[in-house]
């Protein structure tokens, strides 16, 4: 409980600094902290200044600057630790950069229900760059399959936004295979779509739905069936599994939002 209270207090303080001094003041406030570990913990919390995701007005350039500065600081710390022979600390610092990269990619993604804030192409390109970096770092860090799948999901989302449905499909199919690898025996993972059903793993159902959206965008008739299969799985999960209801409804809303948004774009 004390940790939660401390986090809430820190977030409130960072938001106050941001509101008074803007993003440059917020970065200066964090960089003035002498303890490197504390700085690494403050940058992810500083995202609170830009929440919620569905705010109508966003300054994406400021958010990118904040995340990039945090990543640069974490990478410098990682290099310094490696130079001193502290492999564990170097890995921990690299993971801090990985978290910031993924969070930025997610914030820039055009997939959040109700989020109408406009992005310019350069913002989406930045999202793809940091999502791709998260893929590399998660492999280097030895992250489990489900965590690597998340990074591939972000790559796919930005590829779709940039008008590259074939690349989006490739990323989402990789995410789907990794999600299946995380929760089913190796042989079962050979056919991930067989596991898209009520009560199934959230990632498997979500990534299958996204891959269906990409297939539809490519004109593949199988895409609509795959998308509807994922939506049906989330709908049935919400009705039959109370402990999964919130996640299932979130996943369903997200798939429907993305499908509607990109269908309207043709």
Q: Following DSSP, what letter does each residue of 163-214 receive, concatenated? A: T-HHHHHHHHHHHHHHHHHHHS-TTGGGSGGGG-STT--HHHHHHHHHHHHH
What is the greatest pairwise CA distance in the chain? 57
- Measured between alpha carbons, how far is 178 from 12 in angstroms, rounded to an integer? 37
Q: Based on the domain organization, do 106 and 210 belong to the same domain?
A: no
What is the model's pTM? 0.94
Convert the pLDDT of each residue in 182-200 to its tens digit: 987 665 566 888 889 999 9
Q: Based on the domain organization, do 148 and 266 belong to the same domain?
A: yes
Q: Based on the domain organization, do 86 and 10 belong to the same domain?
A: yes
Per cent of the chain over pLDDT 70 is 94
Domain for residue 245, yes or no? Answer: yes
Q: Based on the domain organization, do 99 and 184 belong to the same domain?
A: no
pLDDT of residue 191: 84
Whether pLDDT at 266 is above 80: no
Q: Which residue has the higher pLDDT, 65 or 57?
A: 65
The answer to whether the beta carbons of residues 70 and 47 sit under 8 Å apart is no
Mean pLDDT calculated for residue range 206-231:
97
Q: Looking at the 3D structure of the chain, how many domains does it have?
A: 2
Domain for residue 264, yes or no? Answer: yes
Domain for residue 116, yes or no? Answer: no
Domain for residue 138, yes or no? Answer: no
- Measured between alpha carbons, how far is 19 from 192 in angstroms, rounded to an integer? 46
121: part of which helix (H) or strand (E)?
A: helix 121-140
| Residues in Cβ contact with 197 at an 8 Å cutoff, skipping those fewer than 6 apart | 233, 236
Mean pLDDT calculated for residue range 13-42:
94
Q: Based on the domain organization, do 81 and 153 belong to the same domain?
A: no
Whether pLDDT at 241 is above 70: yes
Q: Based on the domain organization, do 104 and 191 belong to the same domain?
A: no
Q: Based on the domain organization, do 248 and 153 belong to the same domain?
A: yes
pLDDT of residue 264: 85
Q: Based on the domain organization, do 233 and 154 belong to the same domain?
A: yes
Domain, as residue range, for 48: 1-53+62-110
Structure tokens at 4: 């939660």
Q: Based on the domain organization, do 215 and 164 belong to the same domain?
A: yes
Q: Based on the domain organization, do 1 and 88 belong to the same domain?
A: yes
Mean pLDDT calculated for residue range 48-61:
71
For residue 189, the number of C-alpha atoms closer than 13 Å in the C-beta half-sphere is: 17
Q: Based on the domain organization, do 96 and 167 belong to the same domain?
A: no
> Average per-residue pLDDT in the chain?
93
- What ranges in 184-244 are assigned the alpha helix state H? 202-217, 222-240
118: part of which helix (H) or strand (E)?
A: none
pLDDT of residue 55: 61
pLDDT band at 50 (very low <50, low <70, confident <90, very high): confident
């Amino acid at each position: 409980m004390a940790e939660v209270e401390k986090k809430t207090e820190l977030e409130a303080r960072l938001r106050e600094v941001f509101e008074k001094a803007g993003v440059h003041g917020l970065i200066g406030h964090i960089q003035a902290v002498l303890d490197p570990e504390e700085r690494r913990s403050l940058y992810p919390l500083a995202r609170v200044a830009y929440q919620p995701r569905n705010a109508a007005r966003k300054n994406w350039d400021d958010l990118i600057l904040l995340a990039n500065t945090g990543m640069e600081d974490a990478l410098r710390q990682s290099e310094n630790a490696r130079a001193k022979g502290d492999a564990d600390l170097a890995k921990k610092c690299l993971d801090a950069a990985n978290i910031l990269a993924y969070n930025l990619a997610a914030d820039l993604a055009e997939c959040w229900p109700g989020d109408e804030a406009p992005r310019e192409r350069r913002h989406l390109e930045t999202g793809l760059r940091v999502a791709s970096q998260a893929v590399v770092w998660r492999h280097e860090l030895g992250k489990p399959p489900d965590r690597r799948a998340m990074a591939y999901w972000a790559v796919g989302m930005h590829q779709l936004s940039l008008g590259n449905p074939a690349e989006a499909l490739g990323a989402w199919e990789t995410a789907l295979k990794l999600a299946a690898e995380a929760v089913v025996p190796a042989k079962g993972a050979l056919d991930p779509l067989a596991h898209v059903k009520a009560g199934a793993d959230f990632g498997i159902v979500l990534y299958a739905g996204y891959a269906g959206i990409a297939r539809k965008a490519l004109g593949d008739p199988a895409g609509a069936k795959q998308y509807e299969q994922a939506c049906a799985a989330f709908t049935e999960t919400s009705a039959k599994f109370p402990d999964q209801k919130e996640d299932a409804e979130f996943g369903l809303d997200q798939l429907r939002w993305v499908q509607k948004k990109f269908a309207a774009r043709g």
